[in-house]
Amino acid sequence: MIVPPHATRVLLILTVTFVFYLLVMDYILYSRMQNYSIRPIKSEKNYDGKLACDIDPFCVVTVKALVLDYPNLYILSPLAAVVDHVLHISKSWTLITPNAISGFHVLVAVLAGYFVSSRSLCERRIGVILFEFRTWLDDLDGHVARMRKHITGERSDVGSAGYWVDGICDGLGCIALMVGVYFFVTKNPIRRSYDKLPKILPGLESQDISAEIINKNMRKRFAWSKVLLISGHLMIASVGWNRYISLYQNVLEADNTLLGIPKDELYIRQSEIMRSGFFWVVAVAWRLINFHSTMDYLLIAIFLDRLWVYSKLLKWFGYIVPLVVIYITEFHYLQTYAYVMRGSTEFAVTQETRNITALPNF
């Protein structure tokens, strides 16, 4: 497919504008974290924005917000809050539960997968738009759940029924999209590769096997390899991202008086970590490679008809980059836990357990 020059220029301008917008928003967020309180510390100024707190992405700084992908943090989540303010879904539409919204966005994902499987680029682009609408619905169900539970800021209610329902629905939506990708690949063999394959394999000329059947089987095997490659990348990003959200929330958003640390001291330590450059690097890295971001990259590749290029990049970088980020994050988390929990009863018990485990057996 040849892209017209004017379309390329428009796409480039939009991309540069979007990146500039994200950089500006990140600068505002970083400045807000440095100049206003993150945890409730009496000696620090409280942030007072002009927008409603659930719309303003800078109002409440949480671990999940800091590692959330850029479109969700700065566009889709505020948009979900605006729609809720206009329609009063969380307050008045009691029959519409967060789980019902989650179930509905699975149906939207199935429809998106159907369009993505099409030979028509226009229909595939409709599928991409539908899946982005599904992503917005995912933001809406989280917003409605937090509003009804009176939870401020982006947080994962790890272990709750809603947490598991949302995770299962996200997984089903991802499967629906990957099924669409599979059928698309089986219909459209990779360029510059299958065109060079012989129509009849050597040694099979005399057998009652048509070239069409052979090529169809080849495309199916190729489609499975691509789907597994992309799915494995998504799985690593998802598992790592959810793991570190849970771990960091337990340390950096802990508010437990049973830890044996004075609350003021605990809040100061947590704020110091969240303001540090190392934590900011870890957070930005996860913004760029988390589950939602990797889904966005896949959708962009489908929209631009560059799925083959994307799969080739994944082959070389799709597993190395997430594993490197996981290694760095694990190192940072252990340092964070040791610093924040220093002197707490929980930390003392953990250290004692490690020492006992490390003793040699005689």
| CATH label of the domain that carries residue 187 | 1.20.120.1760
pLDDT given for residue 214 in this prediction: 57
Q: For the whole model, what pTM was predicted?
A: 0.82
User: For the chain, how many structural domains are there in total?
Assistant: 1
Give pLDDT tens digits along the chain (362 positions): 555 667 678 888 888 999 999 999 999 999 999 999 998 888 889 988 888 888 899 988 999 999 999 999 999 999 999 999 999 888 888 888 888 998 999 999 999 999 999 989 999 999 999 999 999 999 998 888 888 888 777 777 666 777 788 888 888 999 999 999 988 888 776 554 444 444 444 554 444 456 556 566 666 777 787 888 888 898 999 999 999 999 999 999 988 766 778 888 899 999 999 999 999 999 999 999 999 999 999 999 999 888 888 888 888 888 899 999 999 999 999 999 999 988 776 654 454 444 444 444 43
Q: What local confidence, expressed as pLDDT, does residue 42 receive?
A: 85
pLDDT given at position 198 = 45
Report pLDDT for 3: 54
Please, are residues 173 and 134 in contact by the beta-carbon 8 Å criterion? Answer: yes
**Residue 123 sits in which domain range?**
5-358
